[in-house]
Amino acid sequence: MSSEDLARTTEPRRPVDSRVPSRTGGPAGPVRASKDLARTTEPRRPVDSRVPSRTGGPAGPVRASEDLARTTEPRRPVDSRAPSRTGGPAGPVRASNDCDVVIAGGGPAGSAAAIWCARHGLRTVLLETQSFPRDRPGESLHPGVEPLFRQLGVERAEEAAGFPRYRGHWVSWGGPWRFEEFGSDSTGPWLGIQAWRATLDSILLEAARGAGVEVLQPCRALAPMREGKRIVGVSSEAGEIRARFTIDATGSRHWLSRKAGLPTRRASPRLIATYGYCAGDPDVFGEEPVLEGNGTGWVWIAPVRPALCAWTRLRFNHPDRHPPPSLRDMQPTGPTRGADVTWRIVDACAGDGYYVAGDAASVIDPASSHGVLKALMSGILAADLIARVHGGSLPESAAGEAFREWTAGWFRRDTKRLAELYAQIDRTDLRRSGPGGRVRLRP
């Protein structure tokens, strides 16, 4: 890898970072932010030249993705509840004890990393502790995920899933309601995706299987294996798996950080998001999500499936377990859940023999709106750097440094943007919320 390539990889001002528009659009509004995205993604490519632009990237990787898509079309329902290596019949899970890359976690970060590793000819094992399909919050996906889906070869399966699309969202951020679009280009408006995560995550994991990844599921990563300072694999419920590289993609519980004593740096007071789902008359809602922020925090409501709304709230002072008042005529479909969304980062997110991707590396509260986008990109980036190190074109230390810088840059810009946004509503008059504090669905 040339230094120019490395510069492209490490260049801090990339579209895959926090210049991707936030859910709130950023201080100057989402259209400008979206244009920024277009400017930066189209000609220059995110992360490196093999990660796609909005228009699909160069001929090589797109063709490869299409080939993969053909082989990973949903040939059978994805249900891996039986413990298995491949998603087939039940049986004792035993791991191959030697591979190039072992990945803990089969969410978007882990599956994206696995697909990318396999595509580069790396023998890859992925451990996922839960049976799929399994629930996960985080349905509202930024349009920037679409070219990534193409590159990962899941575009057709994702389209076949029929996830609703949306042009933007209604927002009242301490002021009047307005509609914020993602933006558009010559092909038309950019559309976000309301992806049911149980389905999306199954599609991604299935694509990893289709690409040749050995998936052990359900199978928990227990502890990292070490030789001196180097991490040399994972001790798991399926036994010990030695690997030249280990990727932690276990999400916000930070498996590797806890087990290997990597410090997690907090950049906000403790923040707990509450979330849940309500069913009811779909006519009450338009097609677009709504976001209302005021001095106490914010509420996000999104129609994610027919007659089903997801809601997420963040109160700055204390969590609120109640569904938003505007959903009072709808029926909760389950309990209110909570998630620690305190802004935090594992600064040492790459080191001797390991990478930490997705939420496992950094968490920012969901107002940033691109947790899944970041997870996919960081998984791909970790895998891409590993492939280069494995192929001998990049020193391991340079790859680790590139990954740490990329992760830190994204985190720095996202937290700066969110801090500015929250400063706008901190002194807001709550009465602006409208009659009875209801979240109005249309202005």
Ligand X SMILES: Cc1cc2nc3c(=O)[nH]c(=O)nc-3n(C[C@H](O)[C@H](O)[C@H](O)COP(=O)(O)OP(=O)(O)OC[C@H]3O[C@@H](n4cnc5c(N)ncnc54)[C@H](O)[C@@H]3O)c2cc1C
Binding residue for ligand X, selected from 46, 52, 106, 192, defined by CB under 6 A: 106
* Closer CB to ligand X, 6 or 324, in the complex: 324
The least CB distance from residue 111 to ligand X, in Å, is 8
Shortest spacing between CB 137 and ligand X, in angstroms: 4
Q: Taking CB under 6 A as the rule, does residue 129 contact ligand X?
A: yes
Nearest distance from residue 213's CB to ligand X, in Å? 14
Smallest separation (angstroms) from ligand X to the CB of 411? 13
In this structure, what DSSP letter does residue 84 have?
B
The only residue of 203, 375, 408, 421 in contact with ligand X, by rule CB under 6 A: 375
Helix/strand/coil for 234? strand
Helix (H) or strand (E) holding 324: none
d(CA 357, CA 112): 10
Q: Which helix (H) or strand (E) element contains residue 350?
A: strand 350-351
Binding mask 329-358 for ligand X (x = CB under 6 A): ----------x-x----------------x
Q: Does 107 bind ligand X (CB under 6 A)?
A: yes
Is residue 78 involved in binding ligand X (CB under 6 A)?
Answer: no
Gap between the Cα atoms of 199 and 120, Å rounded: 26
Q: Which residue has the tokens 């969410």?
A: 107
323 binds ligand X (CB under 6 A): no
The Cα 425–Cα 251 span in angstroms is 29
C-alpha to C-alpha distance for 164 and 232, rounded to whole angstroms: 42
Q: Is 137 in the site for ligand X (CB under 6 A)?
A: yes
Compute CA 271 distance to the chain's CA centroid, rounded to the nearest angstrom: 19
Instruction: Name residues contacting ligand X, limited to 199-238 (CB under 6 A).
Output: 220-221
Residue 130 contacts ligand X per CB under 6 A:
yes
Assign 397 to helix, strand or coil: helix
What is the smallest separation between the CB atom of 255 and ligand X, expressed in angstroms? 5
Q: By C-beta, is 6 or 360 nearer to ligand X?
A: 360
Measured in whole angstroms, the distance separating CA 92 from the mean position of its chain's CA atoms is 31
Show Cβ contacts of residue 443 under 8 Å, excluding neighbours closer than 6 positions.
Answer: 170, 172, 176, 177, 178, 179
Q: How far is the CB of 417 from ligand X (least distance, A)?
A: 15
In 29-118, DSSP assigns E strands to: 98-104
Compute the least distance from the CB of residue 302 to ligand X, in Å: 7
Q: Is 415 a binder of ligand X (CB under 6 A)? A: no
* Candidate ranges 67-75, 176-184, 238-246, 372-380; the one touching ligand X (CB under 6 A): 372-380
d(CA 213, CA 172): 45
- When binding is defined by CB under 6 A, the residue of 155, 181, 359, 414 that contacts ligand X is 359
